[in-house]
Amino acid sequence: MIDVRKLIFFFTLTTVIGGAATRSASASDEMTTVQTLNDITAQSSEIPALLTGKTIDLPPAVVEKPTKPKPAKKTIHSEIANASKSPISISVQENSALQKKLVDTQQQLENLQQQWQDANQQLEEKAQQLEQLRNTQKNDTTAALDLKKSQAENQKHIDALKAEISVLTAAQVTNQLELAEAKTRDSQDVLQLKKSLAETQDQRKSLIEQIATLTASQMANAKALAEVKSGNSEAVETLKQSLTKSVTESTDLKKSLANAQSQATALSKRINELTAAQTTTTQAQTAAKADTDKIIAQLKASLTKSEAQTTALNKQVADLTAAQTENATVQTAAKADADKVIAQLKTSLSESQAQTTALNTQVESLRAVNEALPISTTVPDSQDQLRAYSLGTLWGQEIKGALANVQSNGFTPDLKQVVSGVSDSIRGEFKIPKEKIMAQLDTMNKQVLASQQKTSETTESEGDKFINDFSKQADVKRAEMGYYYRVLDAGRGKIKPGEVVSVSVKESLSNGNVIKDMTKTKQVVTLPVAQFPPVFASSIGLVGVHGKVQIVVPPELAYGDRGLSPQIPPKSTMVYEIIVQDVKPGQAK
């Protein structure tokens, strides 16, 4: 919040004492004092204000009606009026100092350019590494594709072998079935032939018996014929006829017997042929089965070999895939490292550019001050002059802080007009009516109040959510004072209340914006435990030497409703990482 009266008060005091104390001081003395204050500020720039406990709480402004200046102040105004009539003078020392700052700025810019070139070189090296990784990955991908193609061909060959085995197996089964069928058919034919042979043999036996009977009958007839040779011719004739008939029948029987023997011989030959054919078929079947088994064994061996090759190819593909994954991981890590380096360089460049801009702004501010204030001062030598000049430099820093506060609220004042307003306020001669001045300041004040109210509500809401989320995390506890903490490293031993502790602190907002980081500048604050602010004294006691603790502090235990402009908004929840760097025994009282 901008306090209008306080701002005018600072401007008035700065200009009055600066003018009364004779401002020129060869101008270099002013810069020396300002530089000294800057050095003091820079030395403690990374120490959180909450840790030092040195925040300045200004009293509320008192509304007073403008009164006429007292006689004593007329003397000061008369001195200022007399001093304002002196021509502006910029000493050689001041010009030298300005030139030195410009040279330093140019040197910083050259250093930044060199850093940028180094960063570009690193980027080129990283790019070459990435290109090499890409080429390696491409080669690995090509090899993997070739292996996959070879694997596919082997698989195709295996499938063909399996199909051929299936065909041969089916053919073997068919041959076995046909052979079994042929065996069955030949066996039936043999049985039929054997049956016919048996029947023929039976017929032959019957015929032999008939022949024997006929022979016996013929012999009987012959005998009878011999006996009846002397008998009548009629009986002889009858016997002859009977004998002729017997001879004819005997001849027919012999023919039938010959035919039967011929048929039996043919049947025996056919049986022998069928038996030989059956033996040949069995041998052929055995040979065919042996050939088939040999082919199947060869195919199985080829299949086993192909499967082994496929397994080897699969292993190569897996190895290549793993290597490719590893290359991708390395490539990703290299890219991440390169991105990290780039980000760090960009951050360093931005910080350096910001410092350069700040230096240029200071140079321009000094030039503007010298151009705007027609005051020539001398080097303060008396004690009163030294005191006055020192107060002027101190209040100058306050005004500088007030300007920074105004800028943080969204206003960018014209420095020349600011200095002109300060000078006019000191002289009591204004270029515009006071009513218009107050109206402008009142409008600006209302805008700032509205903006800060909105920011305060947003900041408070975000802080509450952060505390709620943080409190639910593992190993997070709530201290009796009301802050939340998590011990990141317990350290060694236990810190006693009377010991002297050196700590470094990283201060940040709940949104992650870092405000101060003493670890970055390797700074420490060394105090007896009891002299630390209560929040820090309490949290330091949670760890030992080289311990580390993270604490989340609500607004009421930190910067409260006011915050710390311009970096810390009102009602901000603060996050601190505290590292105990060293512990020493306290001095005996």
Domains and CATH numbers, the chain: 4-121+364-461 (no CATH), 124-341 (1.10.287), 477-584 (3.10.50.40)
pLDDT at residue 23, rounded to an integer: 36
CA distance 527 to 501: 6
pLDDT at 546: 96
Q: Tokens for 113?
A: 């350019």
Q: In terms of DSSP H, where are the helices of 409-517?
A: 415-427, 434-471
What is the model's pLDDT at position 352? 64
| Cα dihedral 452, 454, 455, 457 in deg (nearest 10) | 120
In 3D space, the residue among 6, 59, 52, 42 whose CA is nearest the CA of residue 559 turns out to be 52
Task: Tell me which H or E stretch contains 505.
Answer: strand 500-509
pLDDT of residue 229: 61
Instruction: Walk along the chain (589 residues) in steps of 10 and give the mean pLDDT of each run.
Output: 44 37 37 40 60 47 39 38 40 64 75 77 78 76 76 79 77 72 70 78 80 77 66 64 76 78 79 77 77 81 80 80 74 72 72 67 59 64 91 85 79 85 86 92 86 83 95 95 96 91 96 93 93 94 96 95 86 96 79
Q: What is the DSSP string of 302-347?
A: HHHHHHHHHHHHHHHHHHHHHHHHHHHHHHHHHHHHHHHHHHHHHH
Q: Which token pair is 535?
A: 């929040």
Burial of 17 (0-12, 13-18, 19+ CB in 10 A): buried
Residue 564 gets which letter from DSSP? Answer: B
Separation CA 347–CA 355 (nearest Å):
12
Give the other-Cβ count within 10 Å of 367's Cβ. 15
pLDDT the model gives residue 9: 41
pTM higher than 0.85 for the full model?
Answer: no
- Bridge partners of residue 548, in order along the sequence: 489, 579
Residues in the chain: 589
Whole-angstrom CA distances from 437 to 77, 398, 417, 444, 451 are 21, 21, 13, 11, 21
Residue given tokens 């007030």 in the structure block: 402
